[in-house]
């Protein structure tokens, strides 16, 4: 199966509409560096306007790498957390074959990762508390739904201008009707013992990681601002962070869960519901 | 071993050793365009640098995931072609570079042809003069790999890719083998340095004699120089198997050598050599 470089994809976009099978009036957005995009494991996501409407085009580095049944499922999920993608099979001509594209509605805002870095760097404590509040809401909504994100990490969460959060890049979604797709998620956000397990606990670890990290920074402003995910076991901050949670049994339980041998977190919903920050 | 993910804390590293000897002035064809081997090599290496930068591209910054060193060897010297020694991918991105303008053509399945002009960055310029001091290049790589591994003891080990169209002129086969062994003995906790050799075919060489990632059995029939390159090349860890199986149709284990490879294949070979880009998180 051919594999395309990111440069080949970007150069295909330079030909304009002619390379698209069905889309027309496609205008990639540019900045001082050229076409605006971010890279991921499966391809690149390009900021563009299609028919005058702002979108995010996910272009895959391998043809036929998107999962058709996944996108029909995503289309059936009605949640304010998710931006519904439109799957366009065999859409972009690469010179010798077509590659798939997924078109996501554009969500205005910044990633949670960038927002955390910005707030920590500038000591905007109040806004950090708001962010934790919003993430708590998202976590509860996720745990009450029958689906999970599957690759939950700050890069895949957009903080919109009104402060609410939206989830993007949902290709790894867990749903009880979907078969397992092997290992999903991004390693620092995946519990070491999870392996290929594909179940409703798939987001447990990353939820606990993000909540405890936000809470730790909120409770102790002297923690290093460049360590956004300060409770990540590999960061070695447990002895400093754990005392902050001594009088906060729910946060302490989440912190300890990050170090447990089980990727499933017992009573996760209850701990988040009663979060003691 | 060879399990480490590439993160900003545990970066990855590439060392490219580029033959810039006189024979690289020979004509070849890359993507349908006639050019010197030196020009083709520069184009392909510049593409690899662009790809590395693109793959590290985040929302508002380039993630500092890789260090790269490029050594060019010709005449009596092996010189760093990207500043001095190691450069981070962030620094490489911020370097001032030449911009080269390329006319691209695409033909749709219905036969309609389209053309466009694209700009590409060029860090490496073509050069072809003198002899082939490969031993000096391997010694430079050893120094670079050694210092890098000391600074990044937990990282995926450096991948050294040596691209040449000829034999070393500054040492015997035995000396080259010893230098390569010294280089491959350097390690991080995740494994030893991986050495890949890509030998480019000449204009008049029979490409049917090409070998890509051969097995031990295939190596039995190799000539003396090919055998040397086979012997000094690393056996690739499992993570490369799928890509190479797709590329060659053969079965692992694979040795990291391509012999008499047409220059048009260099892009694919470097894509395989730089597969650790897929281990970025």
Q: Where are the domains of chain A?
A: 6-105, 110-273
For A261-277, the pLDDT digits (tens) are 999 999 999 999 999 88
Q: Is the per-residue pLDDT at A240 higher than 90? A: yes
Which pairing describes strands B159-164 and B194-200: parallel, antiparallel, or unpaired?
A: parallel
Q: Domain residues for B52?
A: 12-279
Q: What is the dihedral of CA B49, B52, B54, B60, to 10 degrees?
A: -110
CB B279 within 8 A of CB B19: no
Distance linking the first and last C-alpha atoms of chain A: 51
Q: Are B50 and A7 in contact (CB under 8 A)?
A: yes
Provide DSSP, A181-222.
Answer: -SS-S-GGGS-TT-TT--STTTTHHHHHHHHHHHHHHHH-TT
Give the per-residue pLDDT at B195: 97
Asked if A155's CB is within 8 angstroms of B114's CB, the reply is no
Is B87 part of any domain? yes
Instruction: Tell me the CATH number at B137.
Output: 3.40.50.410
Top-confidence residue, A56 or B272: A56
Residue B113, min C-alpha distance to chain A (Å): 10
pLDDT at A149: 94
Chain B residues with CB-CB distance to A186 below 8 A: 281
Residue B64 lies inside a defined structural domain of this protein: yes
Chain B residues 171-230 with a CB less than 8 Å from chain A = none
- Give the span between the Cα atoms of B79 and B18, in whole angstroms: 10
The domain tally of chain B equals 1
Separation CA A115–CA A93 (nearest Å): 36
Gap between the Cα atoms of B74 and B63, Å rounded: 33
The answer to whether A19 contacts B114, with C-beta atoms less than 8 Å apart, is yes
Structure token pair of residue A212:
């405890």
Those residues whose C-beta lies under 8 Å from the C-beta of residue A49, and which sit 6 or more positions away, are: A25, A26, A27, A29, A55
**Does B36 contact chain A (CB < 8 Å)?**
no
Is residue B1 in a domain?
no
Q: What is the ipTM of this complex?
A: 0.88
- pLDDT grade, residue A161 (50/70/90)? very high
Nearest by CB to A3, which of B104, B108, B271? B271
A32, closest residue in chain B (CA to CA): B60
Contact A14 B50 (CB under 8 A): no
Interface check for B108 against chain A (CB to CB < 8 A): the answer is yes
- Report the greatest alpha carbon distance in chain A: 63
Size of interface A-B (CB pairs under 8 A): 66
8 Å CB contact between A103 and A50: yes
CATH of A6-105, one of 3.30.200, 3.40.600, 3.40.50, 3.10.20: 3.30.200
Asked whether residue A24 carries a pLDDT value surpassing 70, the answer given is yes
User: Of A29-33, A102-106, B146-150, B209-213, where does mean pLDDT reach its minimum?
Assistant: B209-213
- For residue B231 the two structure tokens come to 């012997």
As a whole number of angstroms, the distance between CA B231 and CA B95 comes to 37
- From A114's Cα to the closest Cα of chain B, the distance in A is 8
Tell me if chain B has a CB within 8 Å of the CB of A15: yes
Contact A257, A210 (CB under 8 A): no
Residues of B in contact with A39 (CB under 8 A): 54-58
Say what the pLDDT of residue B270 is: 82
| Residue A179: pLDDT over 90 | no
Flag whether B19 is in a domain. Answer: yes
Q: Which residues are CB-neighbours of B242 under 8 A, at least 6 positions away?
A: none
Identify the pLDDT of residue A220: 94
* pTM assigned to the model: 0.87
Tell me, yes or no, if B3 comes closer than 8 A to chain A by beta carbon: no
Distance from CA of A235 to the nearest CA of B (A): 10
CATH architecture of the domain covering A110-273? Orthogonal Bundle (1.10)
pLDDT at A143: 96
Whether the CB of B114 is below 8 Å from some CB of chain A: the reply is yes
pLDDT of chain B, 281 residues: tens digit per residue: 998 888 888 899 999 999 999 999 999 888 888 899 999 999 999 999 999 999 999 877 899 999 999 999 999 999 999 988 999 999 999 999 999 998 999 988 888 999 999 999 999 999 999 999 999 999 999 999 999 999 999 999 999 999 999 899 999 999 999 999 999 999 999 999 999 999 998 655 555 567 889 888 887 788 889 999 999 999 999 989 988 988 888 888 999 999 888 888 888 888 888 877 777 76
A250-260 mean pLDDT? 96
Chain A residue numbers touching B154 (CB-CB < 8 A): none
- Reply yes or no on whether the pLDDT at A85 is more than 90: no
- Residue B153: Cβ within 10 Å count: 11
Q: How many CA atoms lie within 13 A of A176 on its CB side?
A: 3
Best residue of A6, A9, A28 to probe chain B, by most B CBs closer than 10 Å:
A6
């Amino acid at each position: 199966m051919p594999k395309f470089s990111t440069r080949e994809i970007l150069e295909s976009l330079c030909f304009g509409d002619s390379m698209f099978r069905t889309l027309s009036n496609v205008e990639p957005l540019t900045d001082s560096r050229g076409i605006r995009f971010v890279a991921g494991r499966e391809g690149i996501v390009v900021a563009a306007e299609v028919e005058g409407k702002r979108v995010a085009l996910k272009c895959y580095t391998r043809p036929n790498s998107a999962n058709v049944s996944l996108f029909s499922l995503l289309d059936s999920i009605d949640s304010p957390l998710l931006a519904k993608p439109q799957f366009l099979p065999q859409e972009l001509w690469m010179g010798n074959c077509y590659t798939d594209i997924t078109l996501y509605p554009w969500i205005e805002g910044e990633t949670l990762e960038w927002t955390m870095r910005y707030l920590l760097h500038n000591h905007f404590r109040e806004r950090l508390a708001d962010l934790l509040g919003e993430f708590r809401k998202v976590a509860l909504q996720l745990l009450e739904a029958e689906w999970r994100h599957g690759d939950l990490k700050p890069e895949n969460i957009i903080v919109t201008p009104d402060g609410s959060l939206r989830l993007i890049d949902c290709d790894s979604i867990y749903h009880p009707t979907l078969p397992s797709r092997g290992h999903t998620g991004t390693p620092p956000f995946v519990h070491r013992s999870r392996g290929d397990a594909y179940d409703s606990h798939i987001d447990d670890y990353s939820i606990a990681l993000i909540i405890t990290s936000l809470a730790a920074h909120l409770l102790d402003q002297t923690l290093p601002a460049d360590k956004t995910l300060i409770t990540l076991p590999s960061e070695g901050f447990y002895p400093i962070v754990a005392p902050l949670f001594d009088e906060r049994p729910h946060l302490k339980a989440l912190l300890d869960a990050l170090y447990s041998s089980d990727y499933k977190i017992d009573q996760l919903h209850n701990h988040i519901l009663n979060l003691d920050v | 071993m060879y399990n480490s993910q590439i993160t900003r804390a545990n970066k990855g590293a590439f060392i490219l050793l580029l033959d810039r000897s006189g024979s690289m002035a020979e004509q070849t064809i890359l993507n349908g365009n006639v050019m010197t081997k030196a020009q083709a090599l520069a184009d392909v290496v510049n593409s690899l640098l662009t790809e590395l930068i693109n793959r590290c591209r985040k929302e508002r910054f380039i993630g500092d995931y890789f260090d790269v060193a490029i050594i060019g060897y010709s005449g009596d010297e092996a010189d760093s072609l990207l500043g001095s020694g190691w450069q981070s991918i962030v620094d490489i991105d911020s370097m001032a570079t030449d911009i080269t303008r390329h006319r691209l053509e695409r033909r749709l399945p219905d036969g309609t042809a389209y053309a466009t002009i694209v700009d590409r960055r060029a860090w490496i310029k073509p050069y072809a003069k003198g002899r082939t001091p490969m031993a000096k290049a391997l010694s430079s790589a050893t120094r670079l790999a050694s210092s890098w591994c000391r600074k990044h003891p937990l990282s995926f080990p450096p991948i050294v890719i040596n691209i040449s169209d000829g034999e070393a002129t500054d040492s015997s086969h035995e000396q080259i083998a010893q230098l390569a062994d010294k280089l491959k003995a350097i390690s991080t906790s995740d494994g030893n340095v991986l050495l890949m050799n890509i030998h480019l075919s000449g204009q008049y060489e029979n490409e049917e004699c090409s070998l890509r990632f051969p097995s031990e059995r295939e190596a039995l029939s190799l000539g003396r120089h090919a055998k040397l390159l086979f012997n000094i090349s690393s056996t690739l860890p499992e993570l490369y198997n799928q890509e190479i199986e797709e590329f060659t149709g053969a079965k692992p284990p694979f040795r990291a050598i391509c012999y008499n490879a047409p220059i048009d294949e260099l892009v694919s070979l470097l894509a395989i050599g730089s597969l650790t880009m897929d281990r970025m998180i």
